[in-house]
Structure 1
Amino acid sequence: AVKVTSAERGTLVTTCCIVSAAGSALPPAMVFPRKNFKTHMLTGAPSGTLSLAQPTGWMTGELFANVIRHFIKMTSFTKENLTLVIMDNDESHLAPEVLNIAKENGVILPHTSHKLQALEVSVFGPFQNFYNAAVDSWMVRHPGQTLTIYNLINL
């Protein structure tokens, strides 16, 4: 069997998913590997998706501060109605600006490991399998075409 790969293989688009313990999800945040975001990059994305741009596509502390603001905007948590956010200790999650925004808005960010996150097993693992299958299917249906960040969301 031959596996077809896209010419843009290795291009990173970071997606930050926010899911509650009850299973409801907020619109994701996506970091595109560009200096500036273009609105057509989100064509087909869920309504309310937060779009960010950073040349490497990696999450940074500055961008994650926007994700925390997105989370606060989409929920009803306040200093009087606290919420606990469980996430790994990626450097971007621990930026001083992120910690200050969280504290000011009643968001508790404990010290945890990615292994303590239920999403690692229940969501991200299966998502990666479905994503890989969708990419393979797209490549078969579009021979000679390149899967890019501009048509990625429509998988």
Structure 2
Amino acid sequence: MYADYSFYTDTYLGDALTAANANKWLDRASDYVDTITFRRLETAFPEVEADAIRVKKAVCAVADALCYIDTQRRAGAASTNSDGKVTGAIASISSGKESVSYATGGTASIYSAAASNTAAQDSYTRYIVETYLANVPDANGVNLLYAGVD
């Protein structure tokens, strides 16, 4: 795991994870970052402090996203009311005359889209990693996102 809860709260300043669930999401995010970086971090973690911090921030950002996506997946899962009506995630509620709108298509957040579509989840989490790790080299000077042959 490339980032811990202390780094998450004190340096990254994250607030989506709790002490109870941080290890779960930070570990999964570390695995995802390893996949995107072709596992270069396992043997050549950046020695330059600024680059190491970028890696840790990438892990924290992916952990946040995975946690939000999971929360949305749980909240947005279709359920059946006692009267047999199938509902999804609630987008808005009005009190006068009881109006309830459900999130669909354009009204759903990026997390809703990612929760219901693994391609959207992969695209979003890859975007996060690329944002943090663009032009960040490993300890051997190879760009972490470089997919070519050395």
Provide TM-score, normalisation by structure 1. Answer: 0.26
Query: Which structure has more helix as a fraction of its residues?
Result: 2
Give the structure with higher Rg (CA). Answer: 2
Provide TM-score, normalisation by structure 2. Answer: 0.27
